[in-house]
Structure 1
Amino acid sequence: MKITIKQAASLSLLVAFLSVVAYSCKRDNDQTVVKEEQQGLPDAVKNQIASLGYDTRNVRTVEGGYVVEGDIFLTHESLNYKSTSPVLRVANSEQYRTTCLITPLPKTITVSVTGLPAVYSTATDIAIARYNALGLRLKFQRVSSGGQVDIRYASLGSGVLGQSAGFPNCSTGNPPSPILLNSDANALGSNPNQNYLATVIAHEIGHTIGFRHTDYFNRAYSCGIGGNEGTAGVGAINIPGTPTAADPNSWMLACIGNGVNRPFNANDITALRYLYQ
């Protein structure tokens, strides 16, 4: 099974032959779903999505816009946005951020879990602990309900794990909500491995605080297929200090193997601290 986190990036590796899961919770090889969803998509919309650098093969129509590359939500308004942010054109895996970030700092973001099995609550606590252990000026706090980021259930289709609501709001400096996770049997299921689930949740949180995929330049690096995600109207700015060599273990790679645990590696920590310490 292939899991897409939000977008995927470069180089075709052995990972291409592994069972991969999309963090955004969608199988890139689920051709039946793709065909059904593409039938009603107007050519004008496909062209707009393509102009932002996204693959148009896996587009899903949802309330308020479209989901592309597995777990990236594009509003109708964002399709007309042309970003002027700098993009580093390097065909390697590095850490990239969006133009807008969480502001002002220090800030604590509350996180709640709604309508999901108990293991999802536990995994969310693990994901939050991974961030808070770094001593950043951006912190996360679990609340029982009504969090600034609410993690909810959604039936997203066969093989789709989840998706975030996008990237930080440029006007308010706040994260988007909700994060949707698919606990259906054909996706994450009702009792997945806790560390694997925590990695998926941490990945989606990463998008909400402004991280693009580590391999945004070429999704084939972690997914086996796919190309350059482009600026996507939100920018793809290289984070100084992160490596130009391939980074096969980053928590922000577009795709992940089923059951794999990816805590923050040294490069991930460098990127997080550069933005939020």
Structure 2
Amino acid sequence: MFKKAAVLVASCGAMLSGCGTDLENENQEIVSNLVEAGFPASDIMEADGLVYVGRDAHVTLEASREMLQAGQETQEQYRTTNLVSSSKTKICINPTSAFNSYSRLSQGLDLAIQNYNQRGLSFTMARGPTTGCSANIAARTMSGTGGSAGFPSGGNPYSAINIGTGLQSYSVDVNEHVITHELGHAIGFRHSDYYNRSISCGGSATNEGSAGVGAIHISGTPTTATVGGSIMNSCFRSTETGEFTSSDITALNALY
């Protein structure tokens, strides 16, 4: 995810190549699968040995393979081919001690969990440590003012969200927004403006991937993205409220 204020800042750090033959071979297959699934090579990047699409969505090898097994559909909101299984009824979000040391990140996490629990979905979220979890997501820190996550795989949500410590200087609402956004990726949501990031980020038009496998339109939601129209927009503003929009709620209800 990016922020959109006076200056746009990328969420992911400097790109580093992976180390070791096994990792290199695995990442090469992930990239190949993503290209076959319709993502342009220019939007696929490797950072710290991990492969990302859309600047903040980590893709595992298993998830990239699953993307090739589904059909195609075009057109906002968008989801990945991979979703969380209905057997996952309690998703626990487990912040690290470093995460908890940032007061606004910590408050933002509580509010993001509340966002999902207010919707009466097929799962609830709970802040860990706690018991009875059918799935777990770690909440970790990273540098910068954005965040990163990944897509579901094997019926499980992505295993971690990473939130920039620079968000401590933003409002609690902005922290709520970014964390809700990254949890959205973890349960299967693509960016609402994936086809033209300039809608929320400004600058030149950038398409994260063709409207095919891995970018499935959710019935009942708009077919065009607008600034402030979704918590899943690629970039965020310093004025975000942290709340779901009506189209976000429609999308959540449609999937879960």
Which TM-score band (shorter chain)? 0.7 to 0.9
Equivalent in the alignment of 1:131: 116
Deviations 1:22-66 (A, max 9, x none): 5xx249xxxxx4xx658x9x9x95973555414536723324x32
Alignment partners' CA distance in 2, 1:57 and 1:132: 33
Residues 123, 195 of structure 1: 8 Å contact kept: yes
1:75–1:151 Cα change, 3 Å: same
Equivalent in the alignment of 1:53: 39
Identity of aligned residues (%): 34
Alignment partners' CA distance in 1, 2:95 and 2:197: 29
Kindly report which structure 2 residues correspond to 1:11-26, keeping only aligned pairs within 5 A, or say none.
19-20=7-8, 25-26=11-12
Kindly report which structure 2 residues correspond to 1:124-273, keeping only aligned pairs within 5 A, or say none.
124-144=109-129, 148-155=136-143, 159=144, 161-164=146-149, 166-169=150-153, 171=154, 173-183=155-165, 187-188=166-167, 190-224=168-202, 225-230=204-209, 235-249=214-228, 250-273=230-253
Alignment partners' CA distance in 1, 2:70 and 2:146: 30
Alignment partners' CA distance in 2, 1:128 and 1:79: 27
- Cα offset for 1:81? 6.8
Normalising by structure 2, what TM-score? 0.77
- Cα offset for 1:221? 1.8
Normalising by structure 1, what TM-score? 0.72
- Cα offset for 1:131? 1.0
Q: CA RMSD in A?
A: 3.4
Residues 66, 81 of structure 2: 8 Å contact kept: no
- Looking at secondary structure, tell me which structure has more helix per residue: 2
Deviations 1:107-137 (A, max 9, x none): 1101121112132111100001111111122
Alignment partners' CA distance in 1, 2:130 and 2:88: 22
Kindly report which structure 2 residues correspond to 1:63-142, keeping only aligned pairs within 5 A, or say none.
63=49, 65-75=50-60, 83-90=68-75, 94-105=76-87, 107-114=89-96, 115-116=98-99, 117-142=102-127
